[in-house]
Amino acid sequence: MSLTSINPNSQPSSLDLLATDNTNLTGFTNTSDKPLTVSITAEGKWSLLKPDFATSDPGIIKYKTPVDGDGCVRDKNDEKFKFKYPTLNTAALVAEVKDAKGNLKSSVAGKKQTIELLPGESVSFTINDDPAYFKDNAGQLKIAYSIVPKSEPSSEPATTTRQNKWIGKRLDNQKTDVFTWVAPFWHQIIDGQTIKNNFKEVSNNYSTVVIDQGVGPLFLTADGAYWKGKRFAVGAFEFSKHETWSDQFSEFSKHETWSGQRPDNGGTVAYQFNKATGFWEEANNGVVTKNNFKEVENNKATVTIDQGAGAIYLTLDGAYYGGTKFASGNFRGK
């Protein structure tokens, strides 16, 4: 493997990667004693077949069509081959991040990436192809890279702890599901393989992180991950300052009240479960204004309710709707 040493003082540079490279892959390694964030941008085009390859098969023609580092969208024809990364775009530029012992940590595809490297970790680059057919490839990419400067710590006292990693298990197939922050986006990693790497951060509070990929907000909380009002994974934040939440709720019973304050007008807002009707009620400044919220979820750190106009999430630090925090508060007014 041909790896370039990098450290916090490394100047912007570039690497060349041929589409035929399958061994002695190019890349770089963090030889410093500090974590590094590296930004890369790849330019150029390549293909999985040489342009003069003779074929009239529509399923094969796409393989001889030059594409950039984003590759081309997968289709049924791709199932005929044994692509190294079967869930990533064909012909995409893939960054293989390995720990100090050489174990693969993640694989991310795309012509623009932000990569986090701990001391001793490395990243190498390759094209997503069936390893048996690398010799038929054509073209190359130039990968420009630079070290992302660390922001200076604020002189203001911290009021909350920023969350950077959420780890859980999916409810549908029990696979490990991880969301991790690698500036400037959140990445989703399922069973060790990066599936999505472009979630924008909407908000980040000590018990709730809201991210969005353009198809609606996804909520990461102290007890689960939610999308469109449904919990799809059970988990929690890593290295949270509230590591004792599980102990705090060891004898958990369903939440029945939540109260807080709206920052827009300073008014109070409270939610209470009405046992007689089976619905949650909303009270503003002490007056019940809505009384027909159905309960979708009720867990240790999150209650999800819905009146038919979209889910409201009540959490340990606030109330959220449409990806926006509209009130600060907690259960039982704590």
What CATH number is attached to the domain comprising 12? 2.60.120.430
Q: Omega into 184 within 30° of 0, i.e. cis?
A: yes
Boundary residue ending a domain (95, 114, 147): 147
Share of the chain above pLDDT 90, in %: 38
Supply the pLDDT for residue 197. Answer: 87
Residue type, 89: N
Q: What mean pLDDT, rounded, does the chain reach? A: 85
pLDDT computed for residue 334 by the predictor: 44
Which residue did the predictor score with more confidence, 143 or 216? 143
What's residue 249's pLDDT?
41
- Residues 257 and 242 grouped into a single domain: no
Instruction: Give percent above pLDDT 70 in the chain.
Output: 91
* SS (HEC) of the chain: CEEEEECCCCCCEEEEEECCCCCCCEEEEECCCCCEEEEEEEEEEEECCCCCCCCCCHHHHHHHCCECCCCECCCHHHHHCCCCCCCCCECCEEEEEECCCCCEEEEEECCEEEEEECCCCEEEEEECCCHHHHHHCEEEEEEEEEECCCCCCCCCCCCCCCCCEEEEEECCCCCEEEEEEECCEEEEEECCEEEEEEEEEEEECCCEEEEECCCCEEEEECCEEEECCEEEEEEEECCCCCCCHHHHCCCCCCCCEEEEECCCCCCEEEEEEECCCCEEEEEECCEEEEEEEEEEEECCCEEEEECCCCEEEEECCEEEECCEEEEEEEECCC
pLDDT tier for residue 310 given thresholds of 50, 70 and 90: confident
Count the domains in the chain: 3
Query: Does 23 share its domain with 67?
Result: yes
Are 134 and 182 in a shared domain? no
Work out the average pLDDT over 103-108. 84
Residue 154 lies in a domain: no
Give the model's pLDDT for residue 157: 42
- Residue 98 domain flag: yes
Q: Are residues 217 and 296 in the same domain?
A: no
pLDDT tens, residue by residue, 10-24: 999 999 999 999 888
Residue 152: inside a domain: no
Tell me how far apart the alpha carbons of residues 205 and 74 are, in angstroms, rounded to a whole number: 37
157: in domain:
no
The pTM for the full model equals: 0.49
How confident is the model at residue 153, as a pLDDT? 46
Range(s) of the domain holding residue 324: 251-331
Separation of alpha carbons 303 and 229, rounded Å: 10
Q: What is the mean pLDDT of residues 114-139?
A: 92
Mean pLDDT of 38-54: 91
Residue predicted with more confidence, 161 or 189: 189
Query: From the centroid of its chain, how far is CA 323?
Result: 16
Higher confidence at residue 222 or residue 326?
326
Burial class, 45, CB count within 10 angstroms (exposed 0-12 / middle 13-18 / buried 19+): middle
217 with 171: CB under 8 angstroms?
no
Residues 326 and 193 in one domain: no
Whether residues 33 and 122 share a domain: the answer is yes
The pLDDT score that the predictor gives to residue 169 is 92
* In a shared domain, residues 283 and 201: no
237-269 pLDDT, tens digit per residue, is: 875 433 333 444 444 568 889 888 888 777 889
Do 195 and 273 have their domain in common?
no
Residue 78: CA atoms inside 13 Å, Cβ hemisphere, count?
A: 20
pLDDT class of 233 with cuts at 50, 70, 90: very high
Tokens 């007008």: give the residue. Answer: 265
Domain boundary among 119, 147, 175: 147
Whats the size of the chain, residue-wise? 334
Indicate the range of 49-53, 124-128, 151-155, 173-177 predicted with least confidence: 151-155
Judge if 213 and 273 occupy the same domain.
no
Span 263-296, pLDDT tens digits: 877 788 999 998 888 999 999 888 888 899 999 9
Given pLDDT bands bounded at 50, 70 and 90, which one contains residue 166? very high
Q: How far out from the chain centre does Cα 22 lie?
A: 28
Within a domain: 155: no
119 and 12 in a single domain? The answer is yes
Domain boundary among 247, 264, 292: 247
Mean pLDDT calculated for residue range 77-103: 88
Mean pLDDT of 101-110: 86
pLDDT band at 156 (very low <50, low <70, confident <90, very high): very low
Same domain, 204 and 299: no
- Of 121-125, 153-157, 206-210, the one with minimum mean pLDDT is 153-157
pLDDT at 219: 93
Q: Are residues 216 and 260 in the same domain?
A: no
